[in-house]
Structure 1
């Protein structure tokens, strides 16, 4: 019979994008608190691996990059080499795809092979979890449900905090760069995302500009636009249409996820479109307000909603049933400038006013 002391190595399979992986850290933290002597491995896509440098609840990050997916045979070989080399006592498959199921399939002697219950999960899992049925639960609770089978072994310590970490030297180094780029830290500094990876997730540009103008006029805030290369043209156009306002900065570049963490840690507040950057700033405990597009449930993707972390969604003003008869654009237009300002202003008064 497996006992708590027998749990020496744990693999958490996440892959995916920034937001999913950041929220997954609450699972790693819960595992660390429950099995303090175990070695925890976190499996991610290569581009997001640097986020977990120095993370106290992740002992090793295993990266998969594009070359591992060039052929199914290469993928199988990589999976086999990982499980063979580590002989995990617990595998938690947060993705629940046929491809990720191979980690459990190749580990028949692993005591706890945990993943989402699906029609095909019986092939490899011995502890399938039905954690996708409740559409009202947030992603943190959905992730932590994977720990339920481990209650047979010991008392599980559940932690809903998801965190990232920046070193003092990283923060200071980026702060110096921000100062050299024109930032005055005696005044408020806000990180803003006016664009998005997918065009349909971008809130109306004219409305965004009006809110940004109100922020500048009321708080004399310095607003740094964050964007990836593909979004730069859109972000720069917003700045140009605001007459290249001196309070807006498009010249401060975070060229890596570690840089984005350091930039975020030096800001007083986050405002903008929902996405991976918003998850990242929340994990760094930076107050934030996000605009959620239609079909992206705020209650699901914004854990710990309250005075410090908030957002606005079409669901706040119209039921899902009513929205079914509306176009996507009409649903998005439920988010007006005044509705955003009504919720945003009290947060800015609390966290930005200096």
Structure 2
């Protein structure tokens, strides 16, 4: 076929919806896909459907036009209330008249939402556990998942674009915040901390991913002795704040300031973005640091590094498996009191931090 007889390209989508119903970190790792869509379709309206509690991960992202949320609190007010709210949401989505829907999720709910948008092209993944006629009925195209076992979560998300003839592999994640978010953070920092500090986030909602409190205290002592100021952060959960209190008790002479449980996710992003270094475990803030380009020391235990290694991070990943045996991630009891990261030597973390701060 000559250039004169080549068929025209299909009309570019004017309205796109991305669906992902997962946790905070999963939402951050959708941003490379969103950026790839923005680069490919610069004039398109790109919307996102997510769980309401994860909205803040994307709420300041300039590539997104609108965010729609499924609030899991609806069901606490009764089945009728939940059905009414979800029906209203589906009606709103249908009114957007999407040209393209990309369903990254594996839930039946996400498939039903995809179908009911009425979009002319509805792409999902051919998940092995969803080999069912109804899953195929909800989508016009299914992208292969055959390579997912060897791909980072970002690469898995990007692979859905193969169904629309795109091949994208190397796109950065983006964690966005506002100037007001930074101003709030700045107002909470002591004057002598505002120009140079290290952020340490030692907690995760799953404590098996955490390093021992005494180890964090030792790192804080070493970095303080080297002249560095430390800002401690954590989530608002009482268990996380208690862990921070234990860490503080173990290093009374360290130069630190605690903002544990005091920041929103966007404020935390602003704090991390202005830090010289981030030290943390496999958790949302670690992925935020990677997306922001802040140098980091990331501590990993029995997590699937192929999937969850910080994407395009500047810094070092220290894996407990290099220092001792670890159980298979699929065999972990997430409620265990075991601290699998304890195999990581304190000196390894201190040395990595000092290299990055030099």
TM-score (norm 1): 0.84
CA 123–183 in structure 1, closer or farther in 2 if over 3 Å, else same: farther
Q: Which residue of 1 aligns with 2:20?
A: 14
Q: Which residue of 2 aligns with 1:135?
A: 149
Quote the offset at 1:173 in angstroms: 4.5
After TM superposition, the structure 1 = structure 2 runs for residues 228-243 of structure 1, keeping only pairs within 5 Å, are 228-230=235-237, 231-243=240-252
* Cα distance in structure 2, aligned partners of 1:331 and 1:101: 37
State the SS of the aligned residue for 1:164: coil
* Cα distance in structure 1, aligned partners of 2:208 and 2:320: 14
Match among 97, 105, 111 for residue 101 of structure 1: 111
* Cα distance in structure 2, aligned partners of 1:82 and 1:171: 33
Quote the offset at 1:239 in angstroms: 0.3
Q: Are 1:203 and 2:211 matched, yes or no? A: yes
Q: Which residue of 1 aligns with 2:320?
A: 314
Q: Which residue of 2 aligns with 1:214?
A: 222
Quote the offset at 1:62 in angstroms: 1.1
* Cα distance in structure 2, aligned partners of 1:189 and 1:251: 13
Quote the offset at 1:157 in angstroms: 5.4
Quote the offset at 1:194 in angstroms: 1.7
Quote the offset at 1:326 in angstroms: 12
CA 135–321 in structure 1, closer or farther in 2 if over 3 Å, else same: farther
Unaligned runs of 5+ in 2: 1-6
Match among 179, 185, 189 for residue 174 of structure 1: 185
CA 142–250 in structure 1, closer or farther in 2 if over 3 Å, else same: same
* Cα distance in structure 2, aligned partners of 1:85 and 1:289: 46
* Cα distance in structure 2, aligned partners of 1:133 and 1:122: 20
* Cα distance in structure 2, aligned partners of 1:252 and 1:317: 30
Match among 166, 173, 185 for residue 162 of structure 1: 173
* Cα distance in structure 2, aligned partners of 1:277 and 1:98: 29
* Cα distance in structure 2, aligned partners of 1:41 and 1:326: 35
Q: Are 1:259 and 2:270 matched, yes or no? A: no
CA 225–55 in structure 1, closer or farther in 2 if over 3 Å, else same: same
State the SS of the aligned residue for 2:316: strand
RMSD over aligned Cα atoms: 3.1
Unaligned runs of 5+ in 1: 350-354
Quote the offset at 1:325 in angstroms: 12
26-35 vs 191-200, greater mean Cα deviation: 191-200
Q: Are 1:25 and 2:34 matched, yes or no? A: no
* Cα distance in structure 1, aligned partners of 2:326 and 2:158: 27
CA 195–123 in structure 1, closer or farther in 2 if over 3 Å, else same: same
* Cα distance in structure 1, aligned partners of 2:332 and 2:181: 47
* Cα distance in structure 2, aligned partners of 1:2 and 1:111: 18
Q: Which residue of 1 aligns with 2:97?
A: 87
Quote the offset at 1:274 in angstroms: 1.7
CA 177–108 in structure 1, closer or farther in 2 if over 3 Å, else same: closer
* Cα distance in structure 2, aligned partners of 1:147 and 1:322: 31
78-87 vs 268-277, greater mean Cα deviation: 78-87
CA 323–67 in structure 1, closer or farther in 2 if over 3 Å, else same: closer
* Cα distance in structure 1, aligned partners of 2:332 and 2:66: 47
Quote the offset at 1:228 in angstroms: 1.9
Match among 286, 308, 311 for residue 294 of structure 2: 286
Quote the offset at 1:348 in angstroms: 2.6
State the SS of the aligned residue for 1:142: helix
* Cα distance in structure 2, aligned partners of 1:258 and 1:321: 34
* Cα distance in structure 2, aligned partners of 1:270 and 1:224: 10
Quote the offset at 1:247 in angstroms: 0.8
CA 301–252 in structure 1, closer or farther in 2 if over 3 Å, else same: closer
State the SS of the aligned residue for 1:32: helix
Post-superposition CA distance 1:108-131 (Å, at most 9, x none): 552233234332332312222233
State the SS of the aligned residue for 2:230: strand
CA 183–13 in structure 1, closer or farther in 2 if over 3 Å, else same: farther
Query: Does the 8 A contact of 1:166 with 1:265 survive in 2?
Result: no
